[in-house]
Structures are given as C-alpha cells and as structure tokens.
Amino acid sequence: MSANELDWSSGPASVSQPLLERPLDEAVAELYARLRLPVYGYVFATTGCRHEAEDVTQEVFFRLYLELRRGGRIGNLRSWIFSVAHNLAMSAHSREARQRSAEALQFSGRLGADPEDLLLSAERDRKMAFALKRLSARERQCIELRAEGLRYREIAAVLQVSVPAVQSFLARAIEKLKEDA
C-alpha cells in the first residue's frame, strides 16, 4: 500500500479501522512502515543527505506516537506529518549546510550513493535529475509535497507560506522542468 492509497483526509480516524483498534505503538509502527518512504523522499529532497533523511523520518513517527499518546488531536494527519518532517528537515538542513561548508569534499563524495545518482544511466532520468537541481528549495519542496498528494492549502500550511505563493512556486518549478527535462 503506498502513501497515496491511504485515506489521509481526516486524521487518524481515516486510517483503516483495524489499525486503530490495535495498541498505539503497533498502529504507529504500521504507519511508519507504510509512510516512511514518502517522508524519507521529502526529507531527502530537502536536505540532500541520506543519513539525515533516515533519522528525521524515524523522528517524525516517534513524535507522532508521543502526540497521539498524550491525547493530542491531529486534524490532518498528512499535513501534520509533513509539517513535522519539514521543520525537522530544515533544522537538519541548516546543520548539514554548516558541515558542508566545512567539509565540501566529503559531501560531494556522498552524492554518489544517493538514489538519484543511481538512475543516471537513463537519459531521461539524468535530465530530470539535473532539472531538479535547478529548482529553488521552495520550488522543490512544493512539487515534492504536491506529488505526495497535498493540496495547495496543505502545502501552504506545511511551508508556512500563502496559497498564491504555493501556486507560483509550483508553476515556476514545472516551467523549469519543462525546459530541461
């Protein structure tokens, strides 16, 4: 089951009923198994670091567990997860950026192991990968979140920008991808 097959629309209650009937830790672990990949993809696109993406992904679900356990109400599970992922990714990204400035060579060395680079053999994918690198951070975040099925207002809430700004970021991102890919 992929993330897009899951009904996210109204929070935990929309997750399949059997999942809700389980103990909370099992339910969250199940969600983690289902959703970690899209969260990982988003964080990786933001930070550019595989290790950070792994750590942040697990942290997101750990916090989801804490929030649900303490009785917190999550209005929109999808927005909540990506909001937490985004904020953690931004913190990790700034840490990573500091390290990058000090260890530029080490960072470029790690690039060879990322999944985008593994697909460089295909010409189309190679073009897409390079086109994606031309996007600004916001543009990339917007299309990643849109690809995960978030509506514009949800993206705006995650990135803490306005809906027209999201429209503009997305349009520019698609325009750039059209030119290069």
Partner 1 sequence: MSRFVRSLEEALRKDRHASGQEILSYLDGELSPRQMDWVRRHLVNCWSCRAAAEKVGQTVAGFVEFRLRSLEAVNVEWPPLEPRLRQAPEVRPPKWRSLLLSVGAAGCLALAIVVLPTGSSPVSASTILESARRVERAGTATGSVSYRKLTVLRVDGAHAAQKATFEVWADGRTTKVRHSGAQPLFDEMQAVLAANQRREPPLSAGAFEEWRKNLRQKTESVATSRVAGDDVFLVTTKAEGPLATHRIREDRIAIRRADWRPVAERMAVEGEGRVFEFEAVEQRLVDRAAAFGVEGAPPPPASKTAPVPRALHTGETSPAKPESGLLAEISAHYAVHKTGACLDGAVEVVSRHGEVTVRGVVGTAQEKSELEAELFHLEGVKADLETAGSLASADAGLLPAPGSTGEAVTVQPRPSVWRDSLRDFFTANPEFGPARESEAKFANQAILHTRDLRRHAWALRRLAERFHGEAGPARSGPAQWLLESMLRDHAAALSAEADSLRRLLDPFLAFLEPGNGPAEPPEPSPSSWAEAVSRAFSSQREIETLVHELLGDGTESGPGAAPAQRLRNRLDALRQCARQIAGLSSQEVVP
Residues lying near partner 1 in the complex (CB under 8 A): 25-26, 28-29, 32, 36-38, 40-41, 50, 54, 58, 61-63, 65-67, 69-72, 83-84, 87-88, 91, 115-116, 118-119, 124-125, 128-129, 132, 143-144, 146-147, 151-152, 156-157, 159-161, 163, 167-168, 170-171, 174-175, 177-178, 181
Compute the chain's Rg from CA coordinates.
Answer: 17
Min. distance of Cβ 31 from partner 1 in angstroms?
A: 9
Min. distance of Cβ 45 from partner 1 in angstroms?
A: 9
Question: Are 53 and 96 within 8 A, CB to CB?
Answer: no
Min. distance of Cβ 111 from partner 1 in angstroms?
A: 14
The angle, 0 to 180 degrees and rounded to 10, between the axes of the packed helices 163-180 and 137-147 is: 90
Hey, what amino acid is at 89? Answer: A
Could you say which DSSP state residue 46 is in? H
